[in-house]
């Protein structure tokens, strides 16, 4: 315990166990098992440490998860989606960095939450009116830019990616591999501005290092589940996860404002 007190940000057993829970949930999501788990990472860790510290600890862990996920899903990606959305996300990250000092994280989460809920409501309505959301490639520029921006300022880019890509009805493995690659690149690019903001202190990096084995294990568990999931199960499950994410983001946004 003395080592943890002196060399990490973990100053109590509660901080360690809550971080383990958060990393496990995010790892399941990174493996492909539902974006809602990923959004629980920083909020859960924020119960026992400042949100900025939680985000800083989690980013190196996310990069390790991305590396594991990229290997697992290396044969699955949709080039059409990535060719549009990745360049757009770079613009969004740059905008988020430039606006970091004046951007309200609560407002961003609130807006993204309402967009996600509107998207899932539209998909649910389609079951009754017979017109499902359409995939429009050019809209990838809009949703990719917003995903990059919200990922930087609020760790909430997932719903925007899903809004663009889910209507394409990709094979679950292809969808997951594309999502993994998209957010792996986004997270790598975020390292430079995060470092420039002075978030990676020694204690933060040591804390993240201790979580890396759990990160890899949880990613593999999430991937194993998705690889056995049929499209008939995957898409209702994923739309449900988007709805849960939307509710969580709206709640976080309202809590931050009031």
DSSP 91-140: HHHHHHHHTTTT--HHHHHHHHHHHHHHHHHHHHHHHHHS-PPPP-TTHH
Rounded Cα–Cα distance for residues 183 and 225 (Å): 20
Rounded Cα–Cα distance for residues 185 and 136 (Å): 23
**Structure tokens belonging to residue 145:** 């830019």
**Structure tokens belonging to residue 181:** 């690659």
The angle that helices 212-226 and 13-30 make with each other, rounded to 10 degrees, is 30
Cα 120 to Cα 36, 198, 245: the distances in Å are 14, 38, 11
Give Cα 155 distance to the centre of its chain.
6
**Structure tokens belonging to residue 218:** 């949880």
pLDDT at position 125: 72
- Nearest residue to 30 via CA among 214, 207, 190, 251: 214
Provide the residue-wise pLDDT of the chain in tens; the chain has 258 residues: 565 666 777 878 888 898 898 898 888 887 876 665 666 677 677 777 776 677 788 888 989 988 988 999 999 999 999 999 999 999 999 988 887 667 676 777 787 778 778 777 877 776 666 566 789 999 999 999 999 988 887 667 888 898 899 889 899 889 989 999 999 999 999 888 878 877 778 888 888 898 999 999 998 898 888 788 777 777 787 778 778 877 887 888 888 887
pLDDT at position 108: 72
pLDDT at position 34: 61
CB 211 within 8 A of CB 80: no
pTM (2 decimals)? 0.78
Rounded Cα–Cα distance for residues 217 and 239 (Å): 25
| CB neighbours of residue 237 within 10 Å | 14
The DSSP symbol for 166 reads G
First to last CA, the chain: 37
Cα 65 to Cα 86, 114, 144, 181, 209: the distances in Å are 19, 28, 21, 11, 12
Cα 159 to Cα 93, 166, 244, 249: the distances in Å are 16, 10, 10, 10
């Amino acid at each position: 315990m003395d080592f943890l007190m002196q060399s990490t940000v973990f100053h109590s057993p509660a901080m360690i166990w809550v971080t383990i829970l958060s990393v496990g949930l995010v790892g399941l999501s990174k493996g492909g098992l539902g974006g809602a788990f990923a959004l629980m990472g920083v909020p859960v860790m924020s119960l026992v440490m400042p949100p900025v510290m939680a985000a800083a600890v989690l980013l190196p862990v996310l990069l390790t998860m991305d590396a594991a996920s990229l290997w697992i899903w290396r044969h699955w990606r949709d080039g059409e989606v990535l060719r549009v959305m990745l360049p757009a996300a770079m613009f969004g990250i740059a905008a988020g960095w430039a606006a970091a000092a004046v951007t309200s994280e609560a407002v961003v989460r609130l807006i993204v939450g309402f967009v996600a809920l509107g998207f899932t409501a539209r998909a649910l309505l389609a079951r009754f009116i017979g017109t499902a959301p359409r995939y429009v490639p050019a809209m990838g520029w809009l949703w990719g830019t917003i995903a990059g921006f919200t990922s930087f300022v609020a760790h909430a880019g997932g719903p925007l990616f899903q809004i663009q890509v889910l209507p394409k009805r990709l094979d679950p493995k292809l969808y997951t591999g594309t999502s993994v690659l998209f957010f792996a690149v986004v997270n790598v690019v975020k390292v430079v501005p995060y470092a420039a903001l002075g978030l990676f202190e020694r204690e933060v990096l040591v804390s993240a290092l201790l979580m890396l084995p759990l990160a890899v294990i949880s990613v593999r568990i999430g991937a194993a589940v998705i690889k056995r999931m049929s499209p008939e199960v995957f898409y209702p499950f994923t739309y449900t996860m988007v709805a849960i994410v939307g509710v969580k983001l709206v709640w976080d946004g309202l809590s931050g404002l009031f």
